[in-house]
Structure 1
Amino acid sequence: MSTSVYHLRSGWTAKAPQIALVLITIIWGGSFITVQYGLNFSSPVLFVGLRFAAAAIAVSLISLQHLRGMTLKEVWAGAVIGAVIAIGYATQTVGLQSISSSESAFLTALYVPLVPLLLWLLFGKKPQVMTWVGVLLAFVGLVFLTGNGWGAIQLNFGQILTLLGSFAIALEIIFISHFAEQVNVRRVTVLQLFFASLFCFLVAPWLGESRLPVSHWHLAGILVALGIASACIQLVMNWAQRRVDPSQAAIIYAGEPIWAGLFGRLAGERLPALALLGGLMVVLGVIVSEWKPQFLRKIKKEKLG
């Protein structure tokens, strides 16, 4: 093998986690419009339960050799992550009944600047200056995106639920990183998908959703596709976040609402110009919140020194 080919192959191998995250970000962006279409055939929480049941089956089939030796800690990790996944995706899916897939994606992207804030509240890790700048940009973007004026910031029901979902997804990212070095990733991925599905099925009757909508072939196809997509997303996130710097991963994830907006536009959605500006500010806030300028690093080193 020539030296140039060896270096090229080595370079691709080193970049494989980042490339994988970009690919699942595209898949994730396309899932919003797919879920919105699927709601024509199902109630929202049962839809999420079926989606993650399909994902759990898909991951289990390709992870059978990894499922032996499951520990109580892995069951606990799967239950905790599964609970926030269920909350995040259920609220997001209910919200999609009253807002566009593009708007939902931009609102969901707020989970990125929320991650360092929640790390601060839960674990005492103080956010850097750029996190606060990113949060400010994301908040201004939220005002524009939701069509509010500065005089009275009001959110409709779908927007409120989607924002709640972004908090839950931020917790998902935190818990995945927290448990990543302590557990078997494959086993926990299966468990978190299983628990997410189980929690949705348990909660659905309390919300008046009691019948499984399995009679339409369109729904079956959507669930299989989303199940496989969800399985890929969870597996790749759990694998890649052990190899990719969290800041770099967050910047890659920032592309998700852009892809969702593109797919939504292809499907006929048209956000107002002000809402588009707001969406772009949310994405900018996401990127800025994870940006660590060189001068800030020097200041930090001087303080530590």
Structure 2
Amino acid sequence: MTRLRADAALLTAALLWGVAFVAQRVAEGVVPPLGFVAARFAISALVLAPLAAFETWRAPARFDAKAWRVAIWISLTLFVGSALQQIGLATTTATSGGFLTACYVVLTPIAVWLLTGRLPRSIVAVACVLSTAGAWLLANGGGAAQPMSVGDGLILLSDVAWALGIALTPMFLARRPRPFTLAFLEYAICGALAAGAAAAFEPVRAGDFLAGLVPLLYAGIISGGVAFTMQIVAQGYTPPAEAALILSLESVFAAIAGAILLAERLSMAATAGCALILSSVLLVELGGPLLARLRGGALRPPASAPPTAQPRLRLP
């Protein structure tokens, strides 16, 4: 897969996740949060099982201890992020939740730096700040901040989990390029943990899941089975910080989907926020190559010199 195709896959994933926010809103108050997480990822695991089995059958080597350890850590980040986000969205305002969910864009370069010691490019850092400002305009209309609630704190904690998951995924793929197996493990482990937590802390009623079947199927098949898997595959070719920026377009697509499907109206400030997020993505995608061309041959190695190898992420 080329970098362009990988970025296009991430863009598609962001689109599907944005529409999934509508499905999650429809499911609120119908399916308990942990039960929703358990059911959606159980469906995702079933969807990915055939591809994971085929990939495992063709794999030249089995997972070693390091690969298993990182895969389990990534699965835990998915469980923690999904559970805290779903609970937080039920206990905070949509305004605060929309902005705070987008904060993982800023946390991802920090997670990469802590795990690998590699600082993000300056243009990426600027784009992260622009994207966060755009998320604030989109979610809050530029108004004054509200006092933080328990739900806000839960969503901020979920952002830490999302950032760590995005940072760890290419570290796994660099050692074992088996994205479908990783996706299946994530869904299966996350679904099992959520099911156990739901059984312990929530009333489990079959009627709730039947009432929320349509949003569950969308979240499980499209958002999970398709979009999350596309993200994992694409992250083998796009650096984590840049991937997080492209995925931040999820909030823009969520606003557009809400306007189309739920008749929600976008204010001028929200529209400006959408434009700012889009600009931050374009800055990274087009700004870097443009700067390199403007600088010309000053940064280009001599023709006789071999190209510098890009450092690969290593497993801890």
TM-score clears 0.5: yes
Deviation per residue, 1:237-279 (Å, 9 max, x gap): 2222223455664453232211111011121334554455456
The answer to whether the aligner puts 1:40 opposite 2:29 as a matched pair is yes
- Going from structure 1 to structure 2, the CA distance change for 1:149 and 1:65 (only over 3 Å counts) comes to closer
Secondary structure at the counterpart of residue 81 of structure 2? helix
Per the alignment, residue 294 of structure 1 pairs with 291
Per the alignment, residue 169 of structure 2 pairs with 176
Letter in 2 for 1:158: G
User: TM-score normalized by structure 2?
Assistant: 0.75
Letter in 1 for 2:50: L
Equivalent of 1:80, from 50, 73, 78? 73
Deviation at 1:85, TM superposition (A): 0.8
Equivalent of 2:112, from 87, 95, 119? 119
d(CA) in 2 for partners of 1:297 and 1:190? 44
Per the alignment, residue 211 of structure 1 pairs with 204
Letter in 2 for 1:83: L
- Going from structure 1 to structure 2, the CA distance change for 1:87 and 1:142 (only over 3 Å counts) comes to same
- Going from structure 1 to structure 2, the CA distance change for 1:156 and 1:264 (only over 3 Å counts) comes to farther
The answer to whether the aligner puts 1:201 opposite 2:195 as a matched pair is yes
Contact persistence 2:106–2:132 (CA under 8 A):
no
d(CA) in 2 for partners of 1:18 and 1:126? 21
d(CA) in 2 for partners of 1:131 and 1:14? 16
Equivalent of 1:54, from 21, 43, 50? 43
Contact persistence 1:75–1:188 (CA under 8 A):
no
Deviation at 1:82, TM superposition (A): 1.1
Deviation per residue, 1:283-304 (Å, 9 max, x gap): 5456657753627996xx87x9
Per the alignment, residue 264 of structure 2 pairs with 269
Contact persistence 1:132–1:289 (CA under 8 A):
no
Deviation at 1:119, TM superposition (A): 1.4
Contact persistence 2:47–2:221 (CA under 8 A):
yes
- Going from structure 1 to structure 2, the CA distance change for 1:74 and 1:119 (only over 3 Å counts) comes to closer
d(CA) in 1 for partners of 2:14 and 2:179? 20
Question: Within 5 Å, which residues of 2 pair with 1:1-150?
Answer: 16-68=5-57, 69=62, 71-97=64-90, 98-100=92-94, 104-141=97-134, 144=137, 145-146=139-140
Deviation per residue, 1:36-63 (Å, 9 max, x gap): 1112321111211111111111111343
Number of equivalences? 289
Secondary structure at the counterpart of residue 175 of structure 2? coil
Contact persistence 2:245–2:280 (CA under 8 A):
no
Deviates more, 1:184-193 or 1:121-130: 121-130
Gaps of at least 5 residues in structure 1 are 1-11
- Going from structure 1 to structure 2, the CA distance change for 1:218 and 1:193 (only over 3 Å counts) comes to same
Per the alignment, residue 254 of structure 2 pairs with 260
Equivalent of 2:152, from 141, 152, 159? 159
Gaps of at least 5 residues in structure 2 are 302-316
What is the RMSD computed on CA atoms of the aligned residues?
3.6
- Going from structure 1 to structure 2, the CA distance change for 1:15 and 1:125 (only over 3 Å counts) comes to closer
d(CA) in 2 for partners of 1:297 and 1:201? 54
The percentage of aligned residue pairs carrying the same residue is 24
User: TM-score normalized by structure 1?
Assistant: 0.77
Deviation per residue, 1:148-172 (Å, 9 max, x gap): 767x763344333333322221111
